[in-house]
Amino acid sequence: MHGRFGPCKKGAAGGVAGGLAAEYHLAAVNARELPSLQFKVIETGEASSQDLEKVFSLFEMNYRQANRAFLEKSFRTLRYLALAEHEGTAVGFALGESRVMDLPRLPAQAVNLAGICCIAPQFRRRGLFAQLEVRAFAAADVPPHPRQLACGRMAHPAALRVFRGHPTLVPKPGVRPTPWQQEVGQAIADAYGVHAFDPETFVCVGAGEPIGYPVIEFEVEPEEWEVFRPVNRDRGDALLAMAWLPDAPEGW
């Protein structure tokens, strides 16, 4: 997975309903599940060489054939890096940014652009993913909006489970994106700076080299692979996913 999703409002979840609210509300993460961690959020353009090495080490811990060029491009695309450390050792990072964007037929929309997030194995499944992404989003201090578009590029079907059952998710198995959805998808793909984008499948086409292959193994049901069938990981592809929180604009 390249990323997850969260609220725009600094330090709060801000009115998101349903399972996504529980996923990304800071108060919903049980602090007892995490040891004493130190968090910091810095602008990617100001990251020190030491911070970069910590990030690269975690990236290579999480991915086989980890492509540093992809990560370096992400640093140029997304504004914030959230880093978690335990006793001086980096145990997780996330890239992300909240922006106010003029989308097709939708001016001045709050958009959460989730980037890659990597967690050390012994700190997984404890809510650290959400802690990091929320901090990266909150750093932009985007004013509260009544509606937000949550976006991410997915490397594996298991990553898409964060949107399971969400009615506004695009893409969905067996459902062709509408022309409007395709236009918005293209705008989001452009914001991520992808090599190319297929609006019919929502595949972010890679530049010809793999991003990397997740070290962790997931159990995935056959139907979860349907929207990922056009994704060619050897080429560096990923699937763009987006959903409106708490609901979609009229006509979506």
Residues facing residue 238 across a β-bridge: 204
Rounded Cα gap, residues 7 and 31, in angstroms: 19
Whether 84 and 49 have beta carbons less than 8 Å apart is answered as: no
Q: Tell me what pLDDT residue 34 has.
A: 65
Q: Quick one: tokens of 142?
A: 């985007």
Superfamily of domain 19-245 in CATH is Gcn5-related N-acetyltransferase (GNAT) (3.40.630.30)
- Tell me the two tokens of residue 243: 């959903």
Based on the number of CB atoms within 10 Å of its own CB, is 220 exposed (0-12), middle (13-18) or buried (19 or more)? middle
Residues 37, 49: contact at Cβ < 8 Å? Answer: no
The pLDDT of residue 159? 86
Length reported for the chain: 252
**Residue 35: its pLDDT value, please?**
64
Integer angstrom CA distances of residue 209 from 27, 67, 73, 232, 238: 39, 8, 14, 10, 12
CA 164, CA 169: separation in Å to the nearest integer? Answer: 8
Give the CA angle between residues 215, 216, 222 to the nearest 5°. 115
Q: Which residue has the tokens 């009544």?
A: 146
Token couple for 41 = 């959020």
Q: Is 15 within 8 Å of 34 (Cβ atoms)? A: no
Tens place of pLDDT for every residue, the chain, 252 residues?
453 333 333 322 222 223 333 333 333 334 445 668 999 999 999 999 999 999 999 999 999 999 999 999 999 999 999 999 999 999 999 999 999 999 999 999 999 999 999 999 999 888 898 899 999 999 999 999 999 999 999 988 988 888 888 899 999 999 999 999 999 999 999 999 999 999 999 999 999 999 999 887 778 888 899 999 999 999 999 999 999 999 999 999
Kindly tell me the number of DSSP H helices and DSSP E strands found in the chain. Answer: 5, 10
Tokens standing for residue 11: 């330090």
pTM: 0.85
The pLDDT value given to residue 4: 35
Residues paired with residue 106 on neighbouring β-strands, in sequence order: 103
Candidates 239, 164, 232, 233; CA nearest to 204 is 239
Q: Which two tokens stand for residue 95?
A: 């890239």
Neighbours of 241 (CB within 10 A): 28
Domain boundaries, the chain: 19-245
